[in-house]
Structure formats: C-alpha cells, structure tokens
C-alpha cells in the first residue's frame, strides 16, 4: 500500500504557521505534488463546530478535560475521514496543529496528565503520528501581539501570558523528546527564510521516502 507524508505545523499563537503553510502549499502545487491541507480543530463539519464551541464563544465555561475531549473528538473525525484516506492515496498531508497542541496546551498549559492525554490521543488517532513536525518557536508575547492585529482574540488567546509561556515550554520539551520528528524553527526569522528552510526539509523527506520505496 502506498503511504504519503504527514506534515504538521505547531507553535504558540501568532508564530507564523498559517503563513508558512500557505507558502508550502503553493510550492507543492507548483511542483505538482499531490497534497491536501487541513487544520485542527476543523477540517470536517464536526471539527468546524468544535472550533466554534471551544474557541469562538469566549464566555463559555469549558474545563480542561472537556476542552481536551472536544479537540480529541475533532481529531478522531479528521484522522478517519480526511488524513488517513489522503495518506493511503499516497498524498502529502499538511495539517495546521495536531496532537502535540493538546500536549502543549491542555498538558503543559492547563496541567492535565500527559499519560492520560497520550492514551486518549492514541485511541482517537489509532496511533497515527506525523512524519515531520515543524515547530515555529516564538516568545508568546511577540506572537500574541502579532495575533492581536487580526482582531478580537479567541478564548485561548485571552488566557494569561503565564499559560502561553507554559505552552511554549511544553512544545520545546516535546521537540527535545522526539528530535527526529521535530524541526524547530525560529519564528522571528523572516517569512522568506522560514519558507526556504521548510521547503528544504520537505524535499529531503520526500526524497528519502521515495528512496525507501514507500511512495
């Protein structure tokens, strides 16, 4: 069975994920590489509703565990309906956030137990892990200031700076635990420089997979 390449983008608020995903997708298009782009929470009708509930209703009380379970429900649907089928077609899947965001935000940020999160995530995804994760690292104060230029903050963006600092540290700890999967990038580099680094990594990964005969 052919197997595509699963790429995720992670990082604190305003780190530049959306910007870099758009640039990567343009390069994939120009090169004629079959791909899809999706995001969490979202990517399916259920995921879009979860996004509405967890992010866009700022006054809604959502405790940490139900918050995580809502993200997990969105993830389970996305993996089953969108990500796995695309990978089985041999495509590149580019996803804006995935399970590492739960470990960073609900684990490091909210204080939920990492073992519990990992267990439920495994059930939600059938153990599907990204092949390559770009972590755009940035001081959360800088990222939140960037995000503020987009308009009204969502429920997570309203959380205090200490929360966002724990999230950043959580992401960096994950990257240290899995150096082969993670590529940590400096979110303060210019968009052009980041685009170049990301494309070089993706081309290298695609070349390696083709050599192994997986695509």
Asked if 41 is part of the footprint of ligand LXEULUCI (rule: CB under 6 A), the reply reads yes
Distance CA 121, CA 73 (A): 10
Alpha helices (H) in 56-160, listed in sequence order: 64-78, 84-88, 99-101, 114-125, 140-148
Q: Which does residue 55 touch among ligand LXEULUCI, ligand ATP, none (CB within 5 to 8 A, set by kind)?
A: ligand LXEULUCI
> Annotation-wise, does 14 bind a ligand?
yes
- Which residues, 6 or more positions from 107, have their beta carbon under 8 angstroms from its beta carbon? 113, 114, 117, 170
Count CB neighbours of 157 within 10 A.
17
The single residue among 5, 15, 83, 108 that binds ligand ATP, judged by CB under 6 A, is 15
Residues 6+ apart with CB under 8 A from 146: 13, 14
Taking the C-alpha atoms of residue 32 and residue 108, their distance in angstroms, rounded to an integer, is 39
How far apart are the C-alpha atoms of 50 and 44, rounded to whole Å? 10
15 binds, among ligand ATP, ligand LXEULUCI, none (CB under 5 to 8 A by kind): ligand ATP
Q: Which of residues 102-121 bind ligand LXEULUCI (CB under 6 A)?
A: 102, 105-106
Among 191, 200, 207, 208, binds ligand ATP (CB under 6 A): 191
Q: Which residues bind ligand LXEULUCI (CB under 6 A)?
A: 13, 39-41, 55, 71, 96-97, 101-102, 105-106, 156
Q: Which residues bind ligand ATP (CB under 6 A)?
A: 11, 13-19, 146-147, 149, 190-191, 194
Residues forming the annotated binding site for ATP?
11-18
């Amino acid at each position: 069975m052919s197997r595509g390449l699963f790429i995720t983008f992670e990082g604190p608020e305003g780190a530049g994920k959306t910007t870099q995903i758009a640039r990567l997708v343009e390069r994939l298009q120009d090169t004629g590489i079959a791909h899809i782009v999706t995001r969490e929470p979202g990517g399916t009708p259920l995921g879009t509703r979860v996004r509405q509930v967890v992010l866009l209703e700022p006054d809604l009380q959502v405790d940490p565990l139900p918050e995580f379970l809502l993200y997990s429900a969105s993830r389970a649907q996305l993996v089953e309906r969108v990500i796995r089928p695309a990978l089985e077609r041999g495509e590149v899947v580019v996803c804006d956030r995935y399970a590492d965001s739960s470990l960073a935000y609900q684990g490091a940020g909210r204080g939920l137990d990492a073992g519990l999160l990992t267990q439920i995530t495994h059930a939600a995804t059938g153990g599907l892990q990204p092949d390559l994760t770009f972590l755009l690292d940035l001081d959360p104060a800088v990222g939140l200031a960037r995000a503020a230029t987009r308009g009204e903050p969502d429920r997570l963006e309203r959380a205090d700076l200490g929360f966002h600092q724990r999230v950043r540290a959580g992401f960096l700890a994950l990257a240290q635990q899995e150096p082969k999967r993670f590529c940590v990038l400096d979110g303060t580099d210019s968009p052009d420089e980041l685009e170049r680094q990301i494309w070089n990594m993706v081309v290298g990964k695609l070349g390696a997979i083709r050599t192994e005969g997986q695509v």
